[in-house]
Amino acid sequence: MKNFLKHFLLLLPLLFLVSCFDILDKVNVKADGSGEYSLILNASKSKTRLASISKMETINGKKVPKKGEIEAKINEAARIFKSVPGISNVKTSMDFDNYIIKLSCNFKKIENINAGLDQLKAKNILGKMVPTQIYSHNSAKKIFTRNKINTFKSDYDKLSAADKEVFNNAKYTSVLQFENTVKSQSNSAYQLSPNKKAMKLEGNILDFILQKKQIQNNIILQ
């Protein structure tokens, strides 16, 4: 699919010109269901190449986005998130020396993040294939869920060999932190911290695209 990479990689178009980058999303949930959310796109491992690419007009037939275009896209995403009920304290940071971009905010309930992602999709910041209903939390039953997402395999199969290479060394990490102790979980691929209040899932982005690793997890809290 022509625009798959742009849609999949969210807010940093330069990322789909290199294969060595990391995506980290982090959620910190309090006992009352409120918390903090952050998304970090880190291409510092490719900063030398990106610095060279940024001086070019096109590469491999693709237009190279300029700093101002990337900043405008990030700022637009922040404005959209600020307009969503339940979301506050929206912050962005852009380090163009190391190619690290961060979006963070507070939420009253985790479903506010789903609503924010829905708004980004409605405003064409996110592509149609990017999942948005990714979290749910029943505070009364103390169940936090990373929802199952659809496979991107059919879209990946349509990519050219050159575009597929972008995912070869790309990494994804999800970190979940809780005020309450984790009692049990349904996905043992998540590593539980010694104090049982944090969990981490990591792997190659390609493994998640092809569903060799599953994101879905039902977490029961104390």
Which is higher by pLDDT, 218 or 69?
A: 218
Instruction: Report residue 125's pLDDT band, with 50, 70 and 90 as the boundaries.
Output: confident
Q: How far apart are CA 23 and CA 132, in angstroms?
A: 16
On average, the pLDDT of the chain sits at 82
Q: 129-138 long-range contacts, Cβ below 8 Å, gap at least 24?
A: 129/1, 129/4, 129/7, 129/8, 129/155, 130/7, 130/8, 130/10, 134/215, 135/27, 135/110, 135/111, 136/110, 136/111, 137/29, 137/33, 137/109, 137/110, 137/111
Given a cut of 90, whether residue 28 has pLDDT beyond it is yes
Given a cut of 50, whether residue 4 has pLDDT beyond it is no
pTM value is: 0.83
pLDDT of residue 77: 86
Mean pLDDT for 132-159 is: 85
In this structure, of 17-31, 45-59, 80-94, 198-212, the range with the lowest mean pLDDT score is 45-59
In this structure, of 12-16, 26-30, 209-213, the range with the lowest mean pLDDT score is 12-16
